[in-house]
Amino acid sequence: MTASSAFEGWGLRTVPAGLAQRYRDEGRWTGDSLGSMVAAGLRRAPRSRFHVRSAARPYTGTLAEVDRAARSLAWALRVRGIGPGSVIVLQLPNWAEAAITFWAATYTGATVVPVVHFYGPKEVGYILDVVRPDAIVTPDAFGRTDHLQQYEELLAKRDAEPLWLVVSDRPERELPRGATPFHRMLEADPLQEPEAVDPASPAIVGFTSGTTLNPKGVVHSHQTIGWEARQADHFYGKGGPPQIVGTPVGHFMGMINAFLLPLLRAEPVNLIDRWDPAEVLRMMAADGLGIAGGPPYFLTSLLDHPDFTPGHLTQIPYMGLGGASVPESFTERATAEGIAVFRSYGSTEHPSVTASLLEDAQEKRLRTDGRALPGAEFRIDEDGEILTRGADCFIGYTDPELTARAFTGDGWYRTGDMGTVDADGYLTITDRVADVIIRGGENISAQEIESLLLSMEQVAEVSVVAEPDPRLGEHATAVIRPHEQAGPVSLDDVRAHLTAAGLARQKWPESVHLVTDFPRTATGKIQKFRLREQVRDGSLRHVR
């Protein structure tokens, strides 16, 4: 596997030759780029609807109209020298402009770096340092975030000035110096054909918060993403109503589900930029839409809403669950409602490892994470850790040291997850080696939060672990040992401190437990697995 010289400092690996040849022989790796996949998909159903539900930026049009804008943007970028080997950072909500930018980037052959819209200056600054983008696309503001102020300050600290495109209806004179209105780039003639690009080169870099202090840059090639899109098309159910995508497109899997999977299925694109259960239920009833996959939170938020009626159930014939902990009690509840549930297992690094299919036995669908999917393998090592290989497994991190630690010599990826496998080959995830909290499908690094909380004067020691959450699967909780002379540390104290530190709100602990000491190993290390048990069974008495 080769890569452009622009990525030589990243930790890209060489896929063992035998594996690479197998994926090609099986037709899982092809010579197609994402640009050629997008172009072919958009030709299948050009008149299909593209609809964005948004209070800030609604849109109704066709795939052909969005494609025309994407091709114009692609040409405008190419004129400015952006193409294969270039990097485009995209931090937009679920708007039409996100699709325009993503499809345009694939047409130019540039590498896309999606960033979730709620990431703050700490995370965004780190990402910009790592990828050194040639272009950045942002809104002027969304939710609580003033993106103009954030990026103006971040870019002022850097020598290189990337092309900064801003989605905004404000007059150009009100934008910061160096910012270009996004709509001006759509006036160019359209690019006719996608640029030729090495299919083994980087196509997408998804940043995910896991076990490291800073987000990890997960690099996928045109080959691995192309197969992942086709893999998802294989195991997700067919039929049913058109789907609403509420997962942020700034998240790696949200982007695939919104902007690649519908093209393979010749289906319309329906986006919502804020997951408001009442609005989603209204859309389902008025427009005949449904949902079909994601973390449990998306379904529980609907089932628990007072506006939910039996009529909505006809719009959810099946539901694929993954991206977060899936309690059996939840799969049983959904089944009792008449929803055919199936579970899957994967990560940003290896998106689709196992899944149950709708035709599998109910016991397997409800209580396991499925069997190995086509083109994927897994095994359990002597310590119980899951190792995986597959045609959609990533090609490395942006940090070479992380890549070296993550892979064995023969291409197995160390997932950091623990699991068991039954006699029929069905995998069940039992725990995580990696110290990561998955809140509603979003990975949160415990180490990142701990590092910030340790700078509080009142905090002598802190451990951040996952606490069960009936809506989100789990959320972060901070277990704190205060200094003896300090007063109690409240949840408000913690949140005020993290606000000042610039940490994204979604990562904040949602509860605080105060302790006089922690369960420890013989060498004094905190035993997090015991701490998680204490949080789950309620034996930590000091809760604020």
Rounded CA gap, 65 and 272, in Å? 19
For the whole model, what pTM was predicted?
0.84
With beta carbons less than 8 A apart as the criterion, state whether 315 and 388 touch: no
The confidence score (pLDDT) of residue 160 equals 82
Rounded CA gap, 172 and 190, in Å? 24
The confidence score (pLDDT) of residue 521 equals 62
Contacts by residues 143-146 (CB-CB < 8 Å, ≥ 24 positions apart): 143/117, 143/118, 143/274, 144/505, 145/117, 145/118, 145/120
Rounded CA gap, 355 and 235, in Å? 7
Structure token pair of residue 123: 């995370």
DSSP annotation string for 45-70: -TTSEEEEE-SSS-EEEEHHHHHHHH
With beta carbons less than 8 A apart as the criterion, state whether 434 and 471 touch: no
The confidence score (pLDDT) of residue 526 equals 81
DSSP annotation string for 93-143: -SSHHHHHHHHHHHHHTPEEEE--TT--HHHHHHHHHHH--SEEEEES-BT
The confidence score (pLDDT) of residue 1 equals 35
Q: What CATH number labels 33-50+63-225?
A: 3.40.50.980
The confidence score (pLDDT) of residue 527 equals 79
CATH of 227-435, one of 3.30.70.260, 3.40.50.12780, 3.90.700.10, 1.10.10.10: 3.40.50.12780
Domain boundaries, the chain: 33-50+63-225, 227-435, 437-537
What is the residue-level pLDDT of the chain in tens, covering all 544 positions? 333 446 878 879 989 999 999 999 999 999 999 999 999 999 999 999 999 999 999 999 999 999 999 999 999 999 999 999 999 999 999 999 999 999 999 999 999 999 988 888 989 999 999 999 999 999 999 988 999 999 999 999 888 889 999 999 999 999 999 999 999 999 999 999 999 999 999 999 999 865 566 889 999 999 999 999 999 888 877 778 999 999 899 988 889 999 999 999 999 999 999 999 999 999 999 999 999 888 787 888 899 899 999 999 999 999 988 766 677 778 888 999 999 999 999 999 999 999 998 899 999 999 999 999 999 999 999 878 999 999 999 999 999 999 999 999 899 999 988 889 999 999 998 777 767 788 888 878 887 898 899 889 899 889 999 998 888 889 999 999 898 777 789 999 999 999 999 999 989 999 999 998 888 765 566 878 788 889 888 888 544 4
The answer to whether 33-50+63-225 and 227-435 have equal CATH topology is: yes
The confidence score (pLDDT) of residue 128 equals 95
Strands ordered across the beta sheet of 49-53:
59-62, 49-53, 269-272, 244-245
Rounded CA gap, 465 and 445, in Å? 9
Angle at 291 (CA atoms; ends 287, 294), nearest 5 degrees? 155
Which CATH superfamily does the domain covering 437-537 fall into? ANL, C-terminal domain (3.30.300.30)
Q: What sign does the dihedral 306-283-101-154 (CA atoms) show?
A: negative
Structure token pair of residue 155: 């870019």
